[in-house]
Amino acid sequence: AASLKGRDFLGLVDYTPEEIRYLLDLAIDLKKKQKSGQPFQPLKGKTLGMIFEKSSTRTRVSFEVGMYQLGGHALFLSKNDLQLGRGETIWDTAQTMSRYLDGIMIRTYAHRTVIDLARGATVPVINGLTDRSHPCQALADYQTVLERKGKLQGLKIAYIGDGNNMVHSLMMGAAKLGMHMAVASPEGYDPDPEVVKNSRENAALTGGSLLLTRDTREAIENADVVYTDVWASMGFESEQAAREIAFKNYQVNEEMTSYAKKDYLFMHCLPAHRGEEVSEGVIDGPNSIIFDQAENRLHAQKAVMAALMS
Ligand code: CP
Ligand code: NVA
């Protein structure tokens, strides 16, 4: 899609269902090419700057490797090593970096920072996770479900746990792709009402739906996909003890998943805490596809970079 060239990738909210499906198809195609050793290098001579304000294993490695495989080069930039860490403004950083780079990926806390970076940059900006969303992960996740189930429309995805960045991007993706999503979270840890409202509006256009409940069984009943994430995300570590109490009935385990479809898929963006948000038996069991998800970060992000930057 020529229309994706030069665009930012800040959230799935900005992409139409057709554009998301185009990226998913491209990701699957690029995966095939890579597996069969067929080179695809539309980004020869191009560079991606990667700003990290938080830790990362998957995002850093998959973007860096992906950029290399596309023929380009990626730079790892830790916030503390940049003048940004000493108070240089986002605007000046964005303007300066745009003079060298063909794209910028950023992982940060406040979503506002990504919006401001995109406003100041003249090259595409890609959201590599904020406190509000994680669209690259959701794109890779729906690629993974599509590969396994052959479709997305009409499937039911249950998310159990914290109303965090991950569930926000999953909700928006599910809504755009015509899926039925059910989210069970304890009181005080609901997803952001604005994202819920926006997702519901989008679901109404695609035949999807979004249910919010406290009842994990209601959420998980008949689900094709069961997803969970950590109870305390990066930046919320100090709340760990309080969250362990609040989430104690929200562990995805064998009892809970017995209400899902027999061939349900267990998913987690990783990193995971076995014995907290998910039992060992479930995350390491036969329904778990966590490492396929992790792998698809590479292919999905290659699709995004190829579409936006070539
Ligand atoms: N899922 C994910 O984004 O992992 P990292 O924090 O390791 O990048
Ligand atoms: N919700 C988690 C996702 C990590 C990839 C976090 O923000 O820490």
Q: What confidence tens digit (pLDDT) does each residue in 138-173 have?
A: 999 999 999 999 999 999 999 999 999 999 999 999
For this structure, is 69 an active site residue? no
Chain centroid to CA 198: 17
CA-CA-CA-CA torsion for 267, 269, 270, 273, nearest 10 degrees? -60
Residue 62 CA, closest ligand 1 atom number: 8
For this structure, is 273 an active site residue? no
Which is the catalytic residue, given 7, 107, 132, 243? 107
Between 166 and 3, name the one with better pLDDT: 166
Is CATH 3.40.50.1370 correct for 137-293? yes
Per-residue model confidence as pLDDT tens digits over 213-253: 999 999 999 999 999 999 999 999 999 999 999 999 999 99
**259: pLDDT strictly greater than 80:** yes
Q: How far is CA 40 from CA 59, 62, 149, in A?
A: 21, 16, 27
DSSP 190-225: PPPHHHHHHHHHHHHHHT-EEEEES-HHHHHTT-SE
Which residue out of 59, 61, 108, 129 has the highest number of ligand 2 atoms within 8 Å of its CB and is therefore the one to mutate?
Answer: 129
CATH of 2-133+296-309, one of 1.10.3720.10, 3.40.50.300, 3.90.1150.10, 3.40.50.1370: 3.40.50.1370
Buried (b) or exposed (e) across 51-76, using 16+ Cβ within 10 A?
bbbbebebbbebbbebbebbbbbbbe
Atom 7 of ligand 1, nearest CA residue: 57
Are the folds of 2-133+296-309 and 137-293 the same? yes
pLDDT of residue 1: 56
For this structure, is 137 an active site residue? yes
| CA 248 – ligand 2 centroid, Å | 19
User: CA neighbours within 13 Å on the CB side: how many for 222?
Assistant: 7
Which is the catalytic residue, given 134, 168, 243, 268? 134
**One-letter amino acid identity for 267?**
M
| CA 278 – ligand 2 centroid, Å | 15
CB atoms within 10 A of CB 122: 11
Residues lining ligand 2, Cβ inside 6 A: 129, 164-166, 229-230, 233-234, 269
**203: pLDDT strictly greater than 60:** yes
Backbone angles phi, psi at 160, to 5 degrees: -115, 120
What are the boundaries of each domain within the chain?
2-133+296-309, 137-293
- Report the distance separating Cα 71 and Cα 47, nearest Å: 9
The answer to whether the annotation marks 269 as part of a ligand binding site is yes
Residue 229 CA, closest ligand 2 atom number: 1
User: Which whole number is the average pLDDT over 18-38?
Assistant: 98
| CA 205 – ligand 1 centroid, Å | 31
ipTM: 0.99
Scanning the structure block, which residue is given the tokens 């699957």? Answer: 28
213 has which bridge partners? 184
Residues lining ligand 1, Cβ inside 6 A: 56-59, 129, 137, 269-270
Chain centroid to CA 250: 21
